[in-house]
Amino acid sequence: MQFDEEAVQFDEEAVQFDGTGKVSLDHIYAQPDPRAYFSTLRELDYYIPQLAKPYFTQLIQDYRRSQRVTAPKVVDVGCSYGINAALLKFDVTMDELYERYCGPDADTQSRSELLVRDQELVRSRSRLGRAYFAGLDSSYPALSYAHTAGFIDTAVHADLEVGDPTDLQREQLAGADLVISTGCIGYVTERTIARVIDANSERPPWMAHFVLRMFPFEPVAECLAELGYDTVYHERMFKQRRFASAEEQSLVLDTLSGVGVDPRGLETDGWLYAQLNVSRPRAAKDRVFVDLFRKQESSR
């Protein structure tokens, strides 16, 4: 096993682990602005939204073309501070966001000043935003920031693991064309996905989820199959982030072993890895899967 002890700097005594063996980072999703989120994840080389961006972009473009929808509605499950929406609507990069919230002047600004700066970014790049984003998350502070900044168009504050959406939440989720996520599957299960689909019973949305290998996607895929979906898996593995410590790596390797996933050459080298799963309704007018994977791999 390989782990770069100097790559990240965490207070070992303060670190807690969740039931999967991952370091608990719950606190960074509950702050009034994204500075803690980005300063923590920057240490861990977290780039999965950037790696996901071209695949989501292509899927949105294919949906526009095949379904003749000019501005598709995208539900981002576990959207936190609206990172995917910022990357996809306004063509920012993770490096830009890291500099924006971790740069030398970030600590000198108030939340209100950060929001004004983000709103200016949104206005300057609004011509690029040919999609409507509904952010779904259980963190009210993160959703509030994402919505006020203008990264997401609708904030759906709900935990659909524990119950059905309210009438208002169903209305906010209705009309979705695509459902995406980058890392929440595993904490969010087929219960949430089924409830999002149920809010869109007249026109089931396409889906694309980047899922950590430690969380088997089969329960979600089986649920989707029962609801009339076909799912394809991308063979490429995507680096999500570095392990925060040797202890986290050891615990996650135990979890991977427990679910029958071989970590050699991947997690053993010091990174958490994710896999892309794309699901589409069998009843879609175009029954052929979008050749999303070949298009993106040929462009690399």
The structural domains of the chain, ordered by start, are 26-299 (3.40.50.150)
What's CA 151's distance to the chain center, in Å? 14
> Quick one: pLDDT band at residue 11, thresholds 50, 70, 90?
low
**DSSP class of 188:** B
The CA–CA distances, whole Å, from 17 to 13, 20, 247 equal: 11, 8, 9
pLDDT of amino acid 4: 46
Cα–Cα distance, 136 to 151 (Å, whole number): 13
* Strand, coil or helix: 105: coil
> Quick one: pLDDT band at residue 126, thresholds 50, 70, 90?
confident
- Tokens read off for 165: 């959406």
Cα dihedral sign for 165, 171, 175, 178?
negative
Strands (E), 25-168: 73-77, 132-137, 154-157
- Burial tier of 110 (Cβ tally within 10 Å: 0-12, 13-18, 19+): exposed
Cα dihedral sign for 135, 72, 235, 219?
positive
pTM: 0.91
Cα–Cα distance, 230 to 204 (Å, whole number): 12
pLDDT, tens digit, 9 for 90 and up, residues 245-269: 999 999 999 999 999 999 999 999 9
pLDDT of amino acid 3: 40
pLDDT exceeding 90 applies to what percent of the chain?
81
For residue 288, pLDDT over 70 is answered with: no
